[in-house]
Amino acid sequence: MKLGARIFKTGIAVTLALSLASMMNFPSPLFAGISAVFAMQPTIYRSYLSLVEQVQANIIGAVFAIVSVLLFGHNPFIVGLTAILVIALCLQLRLESTISVALVTVIAIMEYTNANFIQFAAIRFSTIMLGVLAAFVVNLIFLPPKYEKKLYYHITENTEAILKWIRMNIRHASEHHVLKEDIEKLKEKVIKLDQLYLLYKEERMYLQKNRYQRSRKLVLYRQMISATNRALDTLKVLHRLENELYHMPDEFQQTVRAQLDCLLYYHEQILLKFIGKAKFHQQSEIANEACHEKKRLVEAFYQYNRQGNEHHLFLLIGTIIAYGEQLEHLDKLIDSFQQYHKDAEAFELSDQEA
């Protein structure tokens, strides 16, 4: 089991919240620790949004709790009814993610039955807000997330797995049922790629120069994911038409294999070029070879169909061509980025976080 940065930050936030609450002599500092857990977010931007939303939700919870106690008392039925009203209002204000903390505020305040209720309510509200602020400070200062590095490595990891299966499939070396199971797993991983991309997109840049470079990187990573998706589409079609392709003439199979081998190598080199691990002139040669192989593939396909054969391989040829076009577009985007951002720093491979 590997512990991520967010787990450590949550522990630090809870420790800080409990320590501050104890130093300030707040009764029941436990509530500060609980709110710190709820307030921890995966990105600084989300942490800021969470801070704003939780302030609003806690104010709603505190106001409803105080009014309910002053008007109707501490009856458990009143506590439950107040909780319902708070949930309804949070949903109406689209503060769904803060409902838990708002309810903690309601229960923490309405449990008190002695005198000086207003003072107690203010202390409890402050205790809970202390936990929220502790989580925000910890997320801002400690172990800032590096989602770009994670995103690149997840893209390359998923892409390598897909390309491996394509190479095996076109050589009839893959087990049909095993590949079917892996395709489902790869689909799930691609969905996680989109989620990781959104986390990276939410990271904020404060210098104008960095913002412009970042916006271009967002386009690049979006295209990397698109190219990976096209590779997965190609694998799915190959798997679906595996039997049909196996019974095609050997010459046609060799043409398909040559084009795919070229595209797979092209894809690998593009990802390496982005981090400065591949030569530019080599990329041009690979791109020209991919274009040449595409023409051969189209010519072989038309020749095969003129002989009165079935047209079910239109899908495969179209998918392969679309995959190649995505790679060409990605290659051009990387060339453009590296031309206008020659001083951009490439992250170190050895610093990868899992």
Give tens-digit pLDDT for 189-210: 999 999 889 888 877 655 556 6
What is the model's pLDDT at position 353? 43
Percent of the chain residues topping a pLDDT of 90: 26
Confidence (pLDDT) at 215: 83
pLDDT band at 7 (very low <50, low <70, confident <90, very high): confident
**Sign, Cα dihedral of 8, 9, 14, 15:** positive
**Burial of 69 from C-beta contacts in 10 A (0-12 / 13-18 / 19+):** buried
The residue assigned the tokens 């790629």 is 193
Q: What is the mean pLDDT of the chain?
A: 82
Whether pLDDT at 352 is above 50: no
pLDDT score at 351: 45
- H-state helical runs in 111-207: 117-141, 147-170, 176-202
Express each pLDDT in 209-268 by its tens digit. Answer: 667 778 888 999 999 999 999 999 999 999 988 888 787 778 888 888 888 988 999 999
pLDDT score recorded for residue 302: 63
Query: In this predicted model, what pLDDT tens digit does every residue of 295-339 receive, in sequence order?
Result: 667 666 666 665 544 556 778 888 888 998 999 899 889 888 887
User: pLDDT higher for 340 or 228?
Assistant: 228
pTM: 0.70
C-alpha–C-alpha distance, residues 160 and 167, integer Å: 11
Mean predicted confidence (pLDDT) in 35-46: 81
> pLDDT grade, residue 349 (50/70/90)?
very low
The pLDDT value recorded for residue 315 is 80
CB 274 within 8 A of CB 341: no
